[in-house]
Structure 1
Amino acid sequence: MRIRQSSRFTGPKWLKWSLLISIIILISCFIYMIFLYVDLKESKTAGYAETERQLLKANALTEVTAIKTFNGEKAYHVVFGKDGKEEKIIFYPLEGKKKNLTTINQSEIIAEDAIIDDWKQQCNQCEFVKITPALVNENALWELTYKDQSGRYVLDYLSIYDGSRYEQYRLKRMFN
């Protein structure tokens, strides 16, 4: 008489191994994606701590509240902070050893919220992306980025002092 042995998995061995290998590959891809995300996030804010340290050391600011990056003809860290009692925006160039800082008092400019509110009234069918202070040809500007009603990606440069348009780029999609 034959005794039949029971097993938990009665299917073919190749199916068992294929399933195990697929699970290992999926887990590996997931771990790789997490490391890639963390690395990209760190590279986006690379140098912020050094910029903050340099500005505090040079007494340009007493407190740093935020740092953004502007990439135009030249790349800058845009530093928001306080110098005693006044709030300032400093454009800190990323290239070169000698840093020629451009400093703007926030009390002299049109507020970011006012620019966005004015834009919403002019373009109510548009999708807002972001707003960043910009420095183009030594002109302090707001870089307003959005998608217009035609689906074009728009970079609108407005004066930081009076809101007048300096220049505008409308990029159309080549592929849908």
Structure 2
Amino acid sequence: MRESKNRWVLWTLIIITVLLLIGIGYSIYLYQIINDSRTAGFDNTKNQIESQTSYQNVHSIQGYYGENNYHVFYASNEDNEERLVFLPLEGEERELIAIDTEDMMSEEAIIDAWSSSCDTCRFADISPAYEDGQALWEITYHDKDNRFVMDYYSIDGQSLEERYTYDKMFP
């Protein structure tokens, strides 16, 4: 009788271990698939920009998905001038939009300015954005009421252009 109880415990532990390993493996697989789809096209964009334009040393590629979709990256030209570049992902005319980094406020400076105006907020992320023909900084955070907020500042950091606030869906 005692031996059958031990077998039951042993088989239960084996089944739980196998299910846990399957769950971990599936989670890793899903992460890789999602990350690959998030970064799809980044290598093509880098190769295309470096071979077809005067921009070299393309780095920090990320996607911006707003009204129009862009690959956003930093690159330097042959004169070693650093630029923030937006490459539209749709349309026949995929003209590059380049902004000299000297004409824009740095990420660190815009975060410092933002944090001094919102000391109870929890910072989430900052990224370049492009809407309505204007380069912007998109700052996402949670405010004191735990709402998710997206602020769009001009790229030079001089003005708040737009703010979206989303209430928490579930308490």
- TM-score by length of structure 2 reads 0.90
Which letter does structure 1 place at the counterpart of 2:33?
Answer: D
> By how many angstroms is 1:19 displaced?
3.4
Indicate yes or no: 2:50 matched with 1:56.
yes
> What does residue 76 of structure 1 align with?
70
- Give the alignment of 1:61-140 within 5 angstroms: 61-84=55-78, 85-140=80-135
> What does residue 169 of structure 2 align with?
174
For residues 136-166 of structure 1, the C-alpha deviation after alignment (integer angstroms, 9 at most, x for no partner) is: 0111111111111111111000100242011
Alpha carbons 1:115, 1:163 under 8 Å: kept: no
Could you tell me which runs of 5 or more consecutive residues in structure 1 were left unpaired when the two chains were aligned.
1-8
Separation of aligned partners in 2, 1:72 and 1:10:
64
Separation of aligned partners in 2, 1:151 and 1:144:
15
- TM-score by length of structure 1 reads 0.88
Q: State the SS of the aligned residue for 2:70.
A: strand
Separation of aligned partners in 1, 2:105 and 2:10:
66
Larger Rg: 1
Higher normalized helix content (fraction of residues)? 2
Give the ranges of 4+ consecutive aligned residues of structure 1 lying more than 6 Å apart after TM superposition: none
Which range moves more in the overlay, 92-101 or 28-37?
92-101
Separation of aligned partners in 1, 2:3 and 2:93:
73
> By how many angstroms is 1:96 displaced?
3.2
Could you tell me which runs of 5 or more consecutive residues in structure 2 were left unpaired when the two chains were aligned.
none
Instruction: Calculate percent identity across the aligned residue pairs.
Output: 36
State how many pairs are aligned: 168
Separation of aligned partners in 1, 2:106 and 2:11:
62
> By how many angstroms is 1:44 displaced?
1.7
Q: Which of 125, 128, 146 is the equivalent residue of 2:141? A: 146
